[in-house]
Structure formats: structure tokens, C-alpha cells
Structure 1
Amino acid sequence: MFPSIVGSTSVYLLPGDPVTNVRLPRMFNAVFERCGIDAVMVPVQVAKRDLAVFVKAAFLAKNVRGMAIAPPHKPLLVDLLDGCGLFGRVAGSVNVVRRIANGELEGDLFDGEGLLGALDHYNIPFRGKRVLILGAGVSAAAIGVALAEGGTVNGAEHIAFHDIVAGKAAGVAAQLDAFFDATTVAVDSSDPAGYDLVVNATALGLKPDDPLPVDVARMEPHAALFDILLRNQPTPLVRAARERGLHAQAGFEMLVQQMPHYFEFFGHRDAAHALRHDADFLRELIYPPAMADEIRHPLRYHSASVA
């Protein structure tokens, strides 16, 4: 049973527009209850034009401890902050905000670290590998930052961005190239040949009639695919890759792997530690029933050809 909300309850907000399909409040509240934390997360629908006023006003309430940020607001928060982590600065976007002791607001971005955690969870190699990222939006930039930040030893050796909007991929690649040693480039084609890992960070796959964002038949026999989408999973892209015998995974684990980072950021270190040891209850909460077997047997969906 969900704990009572009283005067001492800490409040975390999730502004977005819309917020009808957000999963984080369910996940946060499940962790709060499981770990005995007197706190609650509430989704709030806020229009882009009202975001600045809303954020400044909401943090006037002393029991509002922080916010998780839903689309389309992630890039809009950066200019409202007094401080921002490296990933947020480079990607120009944040997905969490907290108020520190002096009243200032700090933000950070954990999309990329969630992706790396998901790849490790599924034993998908990315260190020293060649990666093709489809899309050059907020999530794609965050993923690129995380892959590049580890250098060529702990991160990817070569990161290529492809986006159908002219110049968008080049802008992201140039931003990363200025900060990190990993080779980051923009490419004119979504051809996956020659890459060890393909990450779909586009919206293609949300609609039944969407074309595949990449030609799976052109992927290398050893290559893996990660589709960050949370709806309509497994998407036609994931299914097509699996039919080829490739290691292909959906975006749910990326969200699960961000949770310890969120709780660490908000000062709940014990909860973050617990989540790193056991997050299956969150997987059961957000994975669709058709994918329940992947919670219990994640490596069953690992192709033997992945090296």
C-alpha cells in the first residue's frame, strides 16, 4: 500500500507536456515505498511557455526536493540552472534538477549512463567499438557523450551520428569532438555495415507504418542493436534484428539503469545502492507482459554470435 502523504513528505515533481504516458512516477514511488522513504513523485503537465515560471515557483516550496524532467523540457532547463553536470552541459539538456543548500538549482543528465548500464546488463560490447547512433536529438547526444566520455579504452572508439535533418548530426558530432578524444563524426547514410553496435535514438517504430530506421540485413553478423524506444516494444526493428540472430534489446533497461543515478543525485544513497543490487521489481513494473521472460532470462536473448 502506498504510504500516507503528510506534512513531512518530500515532493518530487515531473514536469512534461504531455505526461499521460510517463513511467518515472510509478518507478520512483515504488522505490520510495520499498526503501521506506517518506517521499512522493507527482507528474505535472506544464506548457513550454510556462516552464521557467513553474520551475522557479515550485522550488519556493521547501518540501519540493527535486524534479525529473520529461519531454519536451529537457533542453529548456539548462538556462534556468545555476550549475550543471558535464553530461548536461555538453548535450545541452538535463533530466534531473535539485535544490542545494544555498538555494541554487543544479541539474544533470543520465540518459547516456542509463544506456551504458543497459549495454553492460545485456553483455553488449561497446568499449573500443564502432557505434552508429541513429538520430541527433537530446537522447542521441546524451548517448554520444556517455560513449565518448570513457575514451577509447572505456568508451567507444568511433561514434557516428546520422539524422535526416540536414546539419543536425554534424552539430552534435562537432560538440562531442571538442570535448572528448573518441572519434565522433556525422555520416550521410544510415548504412550499418562496418559498425559493431547500432543505437536507434529516433522515433521511428512508434507508429505501425513507420519504416525501419536502418537496414538490418546490412548489419554485421556480430553486431548488436539497442532501440531506446519505450512504446510498441519489441518494435519491428528489434524483431527484425532478432530474426537475423542478432542481439537486439528494447529501451526499458536504459530507464531502469538510470534509477540508481537519480537516487544518488537526490541524496538517497542507500536506495541507490539497493537498486544496483536488485532492480527486478522495477523491470516487472514497466516491461510489457510480452517481454516478461526477458526479465528472468536476459541472456536468452543474447545471440551466440556476439563477441
Structure 2
Amino acid sequence: MIEITGNTRLYGIVADPVAQVKTPQTMRKVFDRRGTDGVLVPLHVPPEGLSDLVQALRSLRNFGGMVVTVPHKTGMVELCDVVTPEARAVGAVNIVRREPDGTLAGDILDGKGFVEGLRQSGFNPEGLAVFLCGAGGAARAIAFALAQAGIRKLSIHNRTQAAAQQILQGIQKLFPQVETALGSQDPMHADLVINATSLGMKTGDAFAFDVSRLQPNQIVAEIIMTPALTPLLEFAQAKGCRIQYGLPMLECQIEMMADFMGVAK
């Protein structure tokens, strides 16, 4: 049983909704392994309350930092005092550290975690054509990390084409060797198909793209962690596709998150 005392250091994960997150359990193992007297708690905050939360945390002296997830990653960028060049380029933050003077520093680790998760599952992204669905904070991070990992082509499908186009323009600027295109609902010609939206988290959600066009030779990946086997992954598996669950993206960046928040080793 975890004993909370006056010396316990506080960390959080902010999301809306938040019941689905796995970070508190996963980070608990990191704290135990590192011998840290700390606890990471879920913070259920709607978008209109994010600024108030951030302001309050600046004065919380036993607060070490927080993980940031849907839908707050893009909004957190301007609420931090300092962000890394990677986070600025992506336009999203998923990890925040509180400095002793109350200033907040942000970084983005989603993309690095996603790519490392692929590699640990035996999927090398180098040279692949990628169909990415979504243009939020996680999608942006994944797009830039995949480009850095050497993919051949990136197509992005999103309900708002302007958001997808903004990501593609950033990729073209930093990684001109990567072929880019606005994607349609059809993922047929990709080697790697990624759902980087929240569709599939709730019962009855529609598919984010035309899943009937999936091919058995494709890799289909999720960033959703609960449920583990989303309707998309279940459908893809039935079609003969290789699948990548959402949890490895978190598992592969959890140590990086702890390091960034200053959790002692």
C-alpha cells in the first residue's frame, strides 16, 4: 500500500476525459524502481480550465510536473514559460516540469515513444509510406518523429485540412526528402496506417477513415490505450494486418518523462 506523507512529491496527468489513462499505474512502477517518494494523480480538467490549473500549479511547491494528453497538448505550449525546440516545431507539449521558482518547462515525447514502440515490436519505419489520421498534438509529434526516422512518404487525413496542411508544411521545411500529401479516407497505398485521433476510445465511435480499404500487408497502429484492442485494431487483425497497440507509445517514453520531470534515479 502506498503511504502518502507530507514529504510526498506530487505529479499529475491532465486530460479530458481522464478515466482511460494508464500513466498513474505505469509511473508508480518507475517511482518504486527509483525509490522515489512520489505519486502521479489524474487531473480531469476541461479546456476552459487549463489556464487556471497551470497558474495554480506554479505556486504548488511540492509539485514536480505533469503529463499532458488529449485535448490539452497544443494549448499547453503557450502556457509554458519555456519549451524545447522540438515542442515548438511540433506545436504541442505532453510533459511539463515545474522549476523551483515556479516557472514551467515543456517538451514533447509522444513521437519518440511511438517510434521506439514500433521498433521494439519489430517494425522499422525507415523507408515506409505512412498514412496518418489526425492532426492534434500526438499526431504532430508522431509525424515529425517518423520523418526523422526516415520514412519515405507521409499522407495526413484530418477533418480539418488546414491543420493537416500545417503539419505537412513543417515536415517539408525540416525534412524535404519526405514526400508529403493530404490524405483522403483511403489508406490503401500505405505501409503503415496510424490512428492518431481519439475515435475508438468510446463505444459506438465511428472509424476515423475507410477501414474497408485496409490490406493484409499493412501495419495498423493506434495511440489509444483503453481499450487495448480498439475496434480499428480488431478489424485490422481480422483482415490479416499486423497491429501495434497504443500502450507501447507510453511505455517507451515513461522513463523519458520521469527524467524530464526531475524524478531522481
Corresponding position: 1:12 with 2:7: no
2:209 to 210, 213, 219: 213
Q: How many residues align?
A: 264
Residue 60 of structure 1 and its aligned partner are, at CA, apart by 1.4
Q: Residue type of the partner of 2:10?
A: V
User: 1:136-285 to 2 correspondence within 5 Å?
Assistant: 136-148=135-147, 150=148, 154-183=149-178, 185-206=180-201, 207-208=203-204, 210-211=206-207, 213-219=209-215, 221-268=216-263, 270=265
Rounded Cα–Cα distance in structure 2 between residues aligned with 1:101 and 1:130: 44
Rounded Cα–Cα distance in structure 1 between residues aligned with 2:54 and 2:197: 28
Deviations 1:193-231, CA, capped at 9 Å, x for gaps: 332111111233333362462335443x53211122223
Which stretch shifts more, 181-190 or 130-139? Answer: 181-190
Q: Which runs of 5+ in 1 are unaligned?
A: 271-307
Rounded Cα–Cα distance in structure 2 between residues aligned with 1:198 and 1:10: 39
What corresponds to 1:274 in structure 2?
Answer: none
Counterpart of 1:114 in 2: which secondary structure?
helix
Closer/same/farther in 2, CA of residues 17 and 215 from structure 1, 3 Å limit: closer
What corresponds to 1:87 in structure 2?
Answer: 86
Contact 1:159 1:182 in 2 (8 A): no
Rounded Cα–Cα distance in structure 2 between residues aligned with 1:30 and 1:164: 38
What corresponds to 2:68 in structure 1?
Answer: 69
Q: Comparing both chains, which one has the higher relative contact order based on Cα–Cα distances under 8 Å and sequence gaps of 6 or more?
A: 2
Deviations 1:21-52, CA, capped at 9 Å, x for gaps: 32212222232134321111122233333322
Task: Give percent identity, aligned residues only.
Answer: 33
Counterpart of 1:167 in 2: which secondary structure?
helix
Residue 133 of structure 1 and its aligned partner are, at CA, apart by 0.5
Contact 1:203 1:229 in 2 (8 A): yes
Counterpart of 1:195 in 2: which secondary structure?
coil
Corresponding position: 1:45 with 2:40: no
Closer/same/farther in 2, CA of residues 15 and 217 from structure 1, 3 Å limit: closer
Residue 84 of structure 1 and its aligned partner are, at CA, apart by 0.9
The TM-score with structure 2 as length reference comes to: 0.89
Q: Give the structure with the higher percent helix.
A: 1
The TM-score with structure 1 as length reference comes to: 0.78
Q: Which runs of 5+ in 2 are unaligned?
A: none
Contact 1:173 1:184 in 2 (8 A): no
Residue 135 of structure 1 and its aligned partner are, at CA, apart by 1.7
Rounded Cα–Cα distance in structure 1 between residues aligned with 2:53 and 2:214: 47
Which stretch shifts more, 133-142 or 28-37? Answer: 28-37
What corresponds to 1:119 in structure 2?
Answer: 118
Closer/same/farther in 2, CA of residues 181 and 102 from structure 1, 3 Å limit: farther
Rounded Cα–Cα distance in structure 2 between residues aligned with 1:193 and 1:38: 49
